[in-house]
């Protein structure tokens, strides 16, 4: 694939087959015993397995076993009572379906592929694919595809925009009924009757989150929740997802344009980058929101898509004392009183920054959130009592993008050819043509294959861009 630099590597460990529990100790947790039930599950289901090793995914609960079966390198996810939930065969990018290769080329050009494997059932039939890669910003990303090569789930590390370079997040799948009740309640309240597509537990260092993909009304909704049910990230894709919507994603200092950096260097000499968010419309950045530290104070600044300065706000608590310390915390560590207060004020919101400001005499919670494309800067005292809020209105461009219904007879020939080649027996359900100022911007088409729904996105020339299972 053009511009996709592929480096497939498999760690060459000295592996061995053995019969004792002691020999199967996970080397990264020498004080943790692998449950006998987990070991026996691998031996029973794979009697020809050799070079068996175990690693811990979630301590005392979920494990990954890597082993060889003849010439095949295999792995399985098994729990502490011996239930195998996932089975994989190690493979290479050459064995990926062409539509996955096209998706990677269109969406992750320049990424490094770390690992590729096929998800298989007990009979060896392919059920899907897992691709782990590192993007150009050194962020680890795990992509889950079904057997057709359609994306189901996208899991990346550092959902709050922290530095990359850490190992990929650990991921295993659970049933929707195993979600924390607070997350189930949120989904029911927001979506009512919906179809659950996939639920994953994401372990990123010491942080445990839940990635949830659901479908409703020809649209797929992606959520990332923390353990308390706070929404860390959300997005939608499909026929009824608003084409002109603004999405936000964390950015690093490397994502800032030279014009933005030059402005900051001139106006805030010695500035320090803290956080950044890009507001995106139909794949193009429209607004940059940057949080910096300068002269012991922090500022939120906005720039347009060309890097021109728009506005600034001082945020948090300004300090003139060298002993003032800003300590970042995880959203899951925000006290319940603050979480409840924010929920009462904002139906939907995402955390931009969660921190504690510590000075000589007191601690203050500094919480910055995004709600309805507006940023709110909150402070609370040590007990969680509300102190202040500052609204930072976002200057977003006018929405001049709109949809029109697409009739099946008007599907472009390129799109039909793609659907015929990748979704045998597909049946048209619904579609839209996306326009920008009376010019076609692209197509979104919903189809049905057997009992499954798929939403496929094409550009103005009907070339494939992306697809999601619904």
CATH architecture of 173-238: Roll (3.10)
The pLDDT, as a whole number, for residue 177 is 93
DSSP characters for 193-229? S-EEEEEEEEEETTEEEEEEEEEETTEEEEEEEETT-
Task: Give the separation between CA 64 and CA 77, rounded to whole angstroms.
Answer: 5
Q: Over the stretch 131-161, which tens digit does the pLDDT of each residue have?
A: 998 877 677 889 999 999 999 999 887 544 4
DSSP-assigned beta bridge partners for residue 292: 273, 299
Minimum mean pLDDT range among 65-69, 115-119, 372-376, 463-467? 372-376
Mean pLDDT of the chain: 84
Q: Over the stretch 174-189, which tens digit does the pLDDT of each residue have?
A: 999 999 999 999 999 8
Task: Give the separation between CA 442 and CA 459, rounded to whole angstroms.
Answer: 4
The pLDDT, as a whole number, for residue 30 is 47
Q: Over the stretch 430-442, which tens digit does the pLDDT of each residue have?
A: 999 998 778 898 9
The pLDDT, as a whole number, for residue 13 is 25
Label residue 390 by pLDDT band (50, 70, 90).
Answer: confident
Label residue 357 by pLDDT band (50, 70, 90).
Answer: confident
Average pLDDT of span 361-389: 88
CATH number, span 401-469: 3.10.450.360
**Would you say residue 446 has pLDDT above 90?**
yes
Label residue 373 by pLDDT band (50, 70, 90).
Answer: confident
For residue 378, the tally of other CB atoms under 10 A from its CB is: 20
Q: Are 25 and 32 in contact (CB under 8 A)?
A: yes
Average pLDDT of span 197-219: 91
Average pLDDT of span 302-309: 91
Q: Over the stretch 222-245, which tens digit does the pLDDT of each residue have?
A: 999 988 888 888 888 899 887 766
Residue 345 main-chain phi, psi, to 5 deg: -100, -25
Label residue 19 by pLDDT band (50, 70, 90).
Answer: very low
Task: Give the separation between CA 347 and CA 334, rounded to whole angstroms.
Answer: 18
**Where in the chain are all domains bearing CATH 3.10.450.360?**
22-90, 173-238, 401-469
The pLDDT, as a whole number, for residue 11 is 26
CATH number, span 247-392: 3.40.1420
For residue 10, the tally of other CB atoms under 10 A from its CB is: 11
Average pLDDT of span 345-352: 82
**Where in the chain are all domains bearing CATH 3.40.1420?**
247-392
**Would you say residue 28 has pLDDT above 50?**
no
Residue 13 main-chain phi, psi, to 5 deg: -90, 155
DSSP-assigned beta bridge partners for residue 213: 198, 222
Q: For 22-90, which CATH class?
A: alpha beta
What's the CA angle centered on 194, arms 192 and 196, to 5 degrees? 135
Label residue 29 by pLDDT band (50, 70, 90).
Answer: very low
């Amino acid at each position: 694939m053009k511009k996709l630099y592929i480096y497939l590597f498999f760690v060459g460990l000295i592996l061995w087959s053995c019969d004792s529990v002691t020999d199967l100790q996970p080397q990264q947790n020498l004080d943790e015993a692998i449950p006998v039930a987990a070991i026996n599950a691998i031996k029973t289901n794979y009697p020809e397995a050799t070079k068996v090793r175990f690693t811990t995914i979630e301590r005392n609960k979920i494990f990954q076993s890597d082993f060889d079966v003849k010439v095949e390198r295999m792995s399985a996810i098994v729990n502490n009572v011996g239930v195998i939930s996932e089975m994989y065969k190690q493979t290479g990018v050459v064995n990926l379906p062409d539509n996955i290769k096209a998706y990677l080329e269109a969406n992750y050009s320049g990424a490094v592929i770390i690992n590729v494997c096929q998800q298989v059932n007990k009979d060896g039939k392919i059920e899907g694919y897992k691709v782990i890669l590192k993007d150009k910003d050194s962020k680890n990303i795990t992509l889950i595809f079904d057997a057709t090569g359609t994306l189901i789930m996208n899991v990346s590390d550092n959902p709050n925009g922290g530095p990359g370079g850490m190992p990929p997040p650990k991921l295993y799948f659970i049933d929707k009924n195993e979600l924390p009740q607070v997350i189930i309640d949120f989904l029911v309240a927001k979506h009512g009757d919906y179809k659950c597509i996939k639920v994953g537990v994401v372990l990123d260092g010491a942080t445990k989150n839940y990635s949830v993909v659901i479908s409703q009304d020809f649209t797929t909704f992606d959520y990332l929740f923390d353990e308390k049910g706070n929404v860390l990230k959300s997005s939608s894709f499909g026929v009824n997802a608003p084409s002109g919507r603004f999405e936000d994603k964390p950015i690093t200092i490397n994502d800032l344009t030279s014009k933005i950096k030059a402005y900051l260097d001139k106006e805030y000499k010695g500035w320090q980058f803290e956080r950044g968010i890009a507001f995106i419309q139909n794949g193009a950045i429209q607004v940059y929101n940057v949080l910096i530290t300068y002269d012991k104070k922090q500022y939120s600044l906005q720039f347009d898509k060309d890097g021109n300065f728009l506005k600034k706000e001082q945020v948090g608590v300004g300090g003139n004392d060298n002993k003032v310390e800003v300590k970042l915390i995880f959203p899951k560590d925000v006290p319940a009183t603050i979480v409840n207060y924010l929920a009462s004020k904002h139906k939907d919101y995402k955390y931009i920054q969660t921190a504690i400001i510590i000075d000589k005499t007191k601690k203050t919670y500094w919480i910055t959130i995004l709600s309805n494309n507006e940023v709110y800067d909150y402070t609370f005292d040590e007990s969680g009592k509300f102190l202040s809020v500052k609204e930072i209105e976002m200057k977003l461009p006018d929405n001049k993008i709109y949809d029109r219904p697409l009739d099946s007879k008007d599907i472009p020939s390129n799109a039909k050819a793609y659907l015929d080649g990748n979704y045998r027996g597909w049946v048209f359900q619904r579609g839209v043509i996306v326009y920008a100022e009376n010019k076609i911007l692209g197509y979104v088409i919903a189809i049905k294959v057997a009992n499954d729904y798929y939403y496929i996105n094409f550009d103005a020339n009907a070339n494939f861009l992306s697809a999601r299972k619904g």
